Structure 1
């Protein structure tokens, strides 16, 4: 699989972009005309830099507004083209992207378009250049790849073919199966982009909201399958216009982009039973082995876990690390982390084959995490998520694996709990990369989404989960100017009222819930008055849907983390989204009071 990326996908100057593309492992690049125009380096210097970096210049783009015009306008287009052909020869490109006309077209006639594209191809042939004609989704007359191919076929020039772009095809809802009717050697280039489902004009959707494969709603696996079955043998190239990616670190974004192509090739190979491009099988998460909170001083969290009913299970034999447990819920407090503020630093996933999970992560370019281990201690493979959170894998139950390294603890707690979900938060510039990481590396699947109003604006939540729902990771995206939402871990119990009463008797301070919330709860659900008073008296929150009920409470925030205890009744699968604004407001009020 050869890979390529358009320089328009990345921030910075052309030289920076080329270095980042090479570092990420791309084989080639599409050089955007505007990037070259804005570079101080000559085309010859760019060509030599690409050679030294091991990059091929796969295509030069774009050339616009050629076909479907009067003779005078077309003559001007040929003059423009000759100038670009000379630049392409200097920069080492032999393929030019020509977009369907959106501005100057006045003649809706395939024969005219074919004649003019044929003449352009003849002029290009004198320079050893090929032309890839692309139907833009908002083209004046040509907005369908099937019509673009008919025009190319009618023009009948060996150096004239089509460029297929997943966005232009899938955004219009066109059936991509017709791609298989195009001879593979006439598909000169393939551009890939994902996108979310949005109801907006195509140009704005394309210019601002494209995503890398695996981050949006397009069926790129099916799309790529049609292209490959047609016999296409060129590179898989990314063309992603996105305001975020044009502002983020160029090296990191290039690595993110390269991971998306590896993911797409793997998904397509698995779906079609192909060997080429296939990684090892994704390791489905079977359980959450542990969650880890790191910080310089975590004694307050020791007290909190004790009040919740967890038992102290010992100190690590060689590290400044403590273990608390209740049933299957295990919390590691790591004071080797030097940050003064407590923060969620890691979590462990139980899988069938930990080494296979780590090998797949390495193939996807996830950075490996190293932690010191001594003789007799279990070494767990791990990688870092985009925000630095560490993800560990183990294929042996904790009791027979790493848990035995903790010494001096007390007996198991009567409390039976499990980790219900791990709620993480990302800044706007990291969110899409994190979604791709969780799906490609952690092998989780996208689930429900929600938008929750908070004191600083709408917080978007995307849930990632295992197929059986045992592992759930809601991911929150804060508004661009808002502070990052605090992360938290939710523990599931069978009787949250009993846990709350016992915790309060031990002195636990809950997050206080405003009285107005319970007045609204009475109006919405008309609960039994005694039940409502139980909720009010314990600062419990409540939600209900057609499948079941959800009862939960929150602790105070400790640095950058807080805890939640939940009870799911019957088939309730949500996260109490209706209660999130109350929680956010209560936390903000406590912060305001200091």
Structure 2
């Protein structure tokens, strides 16, 4: 159901990767829980497509077996239609931009993109989330990154598709909202916009999982807050509302003890580790200034989808069922808009 804010209906969404914490929590059960809680749409996550394929066929399909993934996608579309849920976006498409011209990595990136576009057609969505790359060895030039995204946007435009480019706060070249906005402006394509995220910005510009305080150190807390508020004011005054395609909502736990300032065995940087495991619903144990960021985005005039994207399997164990958790998520969105 849409939520009321300032005389407008704000549509609600939930990322399928963000609910359920064991294999018994199948995609159909997730969809039912979200629909029953009043969500009108989902972000469809690739891990859920793979898991649903395993449920249907007894084995998980390959991530590049696009013929099979398309058929699975068609069946998912039937499921979402039955539950009255719109698929707003396919996610998360990673490590796309910045590879050297003529490299195997660049060829693979565009082959993957074309495969994901086939899945988008199958499931009936028109938007692809692209996360700012965390791969080593990519170009440091925003012109190069923008050129790749412009080329992808042109491919998507042929199908009537859009790209929502998101700053991942552990990214190699574009960890902040200012970075992805600069790249989007350089690319200059009507179907290329932003996926903003309360965690990615608050966790990148204000919070820090490697410090005991949980915030960026080396400056005073007053200076940190001033810098954060200046960033929010700049966002509100510079990004047109129509270039924000979706806003993802989550908080973060303070990590105790703090994470080490190094990559883990999976190659993830500290903020990437934080993102993957320590992101609860707002008002459920986190500490980031989530409401501040939401207000800044709403001040642009944005009235589009608020999408819950959390990663908190242990936290979900506190709730009796997925339906209870989905209802808690809806309540957290309502509280954010009413604060």
TM-score where L is the length of structure 2:
0.75
Tell me, yes or no, if the aligned pair for 2:199 and 2:290 is still in contact at 8 Å.
no
Counterparts of residues 321-360 of structure 1 (less than 5 Å): none
Alpha-carbon offset, residue 115 of structure 1 = 0.3
Alpha-carbon offset, residue 45 of structure 1 = 2.1
Q: Relative to 1, partners in 2 of residues 1:45 and 1:245: Cα closer, same or farther, differing over 3 Å?
A: farther
Alpha-carbon offset, residue 239 of structure 1 = 0.6
Using the alignment, how far apart are the partners of 1:79 and 1:206 within structure 2?
A: 27
* SS in structure 1 at match of 2:112: helix
- Residue aligning to 2:90: 60
Q: Higher helix proportion, which one? A: 2
The gaps in structure 2 that reach 5 residues or longer are: 1-9, 57-71, 207-227, 260-269
Counterparts of residues 201-212 of structure 1 (less than 5 Å): 201-212=270-281
Alpha-carbon offset, residue 105 of structure 1 = 4.2
Alpha-carbon offset, residue 34 of structure 1 = 0.8
- Residue aligning to 1:5: 14
Using the alignment, how far apart are the partners of 1:245 and 1:234 within structure 2?
A: 28
Which of 43, 50, 56 in structure 1 is aligned with 2:80? 50
Q: Does 1:78 align with 2:110?
A: yes
Alpha-carbon offset, residue 129 of structure 1 = 1.0
The gaps in structure 1 that reach 5 residues or longer are: 268-594
Using the alignment, how far apart are the partners of 2:157 and 2:114 within structure 1?
A: 11
Tell me, yes or no, if the aligned pair for 1:4 and 1:28 is still in contact at 8 Å.
yes
Using the alignment, how far apart are the partners of 1:204 and 1:64 within structure 2?
A: 16
- Residue aligning to 2:333: 261
* Matched length: 267
Alpha-carbon offset, residue 77 of structure 1 = 0.8
* SS in structure 2 at match of 1:244: helix
Using the alignment, how far apart are the partners of 1:129 and 1:111 within structure 2?
A: 23
**Higher alpha-carbon Rg:** 1
Counterparts of residues 376-387 of structure 1 (less than 5 Å): none
Tell me, yes or no, if the aligned pair for 1:245 and 1:253 is still in contact at 8 Å.
no
Using the alignment, how far apart are the partners of 1:95 and 1:233 within structure 2?
A: 17
Q: Higher strand proportion, which one? A: 1
Q: Relative to 1, partners in 2 of residues 1:27 and 1:105: Cα closer, same or farther, differing over 3 Å?
A: farther
Using the alignment, how far apart are the partners of 2:11 and 2:158 within structure 1?
A: 28
Alpha-carbon offset, residue 245 of structure 1 = 4.5
Residue deviations 1:431-460, cap 9 Å, x none?
Answer: xxxxxxxxxxxxxxxxxxxxxxxxxxxxxx
Q: Relative to 1, partners in 2 of residues 1:79 and 1:257: Cα closer, same or farther, differing over 3 Å?
A: same
Q: Relative to 1, partners in 2 of residues 1:197 and 1:176: Cα closer, same or farther, differing over 3 Å?
A: farther
Using the alignment, how far apart are the partners of 1:211 and 1:62 within structure 2?
A: 19
Using the alignment, how far apart are the partners of 1:3 and 1:203 within structure 2?
A: 26
Which of 178, 186, 190 in structure 1 is aligned with 2:234? 178
Which of 163, 173, 183 in structure 2 is aligned with 1:131? 163
- Residue aligning to 1:117: 149
Q: Relative to 1, partners in 2 of residues 1:239 and 1:126: Cα closer, same or farther, differing over 3 Å?
A: same
Alpha-carbon offset, residue 266 of structure 1 = 1.2
TM-score where L is the length of structure 1:
0.44
Using the alignment, how far apart are the partners of 1:257 and 1:15 within structure 2?
A: 18
Residue deviations 1:322-363, cap 9 Å, x none?
Answer: xxxxxxxxxxxxxxxxxxxxxxxxxxxxxxxxxxxxxxxxxx
Tell me, yes or no, if the aligned pair for 1:136 and 1:143 is still in contact at 8 Å.
yes
Alpha-carbon offset, residue 151 of structure 1 = 0.4
Using the alignment, how far apart are the partners of 2:278 and 2:151 within structure 1?
A: 35
Using the alignment, how far apart are the partners of 2:49 and 2:315 within structure 1?
A: 19
- Residue aligning to 1:193: 250
* SS in structure 1 at match of 2:173: coil
* CA root-mean-square deviation: 1.5
Tell me, yes or no, if the aligned pair for 1:162 and 1:187 is still in contact at 8 Å.
yes
Using the alignment, how far apart are the partners of 2:48 and 2:118 within structure 1?
A: 17
Using the alignment, how far apart are the partners of 2:159 and 2:287 within structure 1?
A: 41
Alpha-carbon offset, residue 246 of structure 1 = 5.6
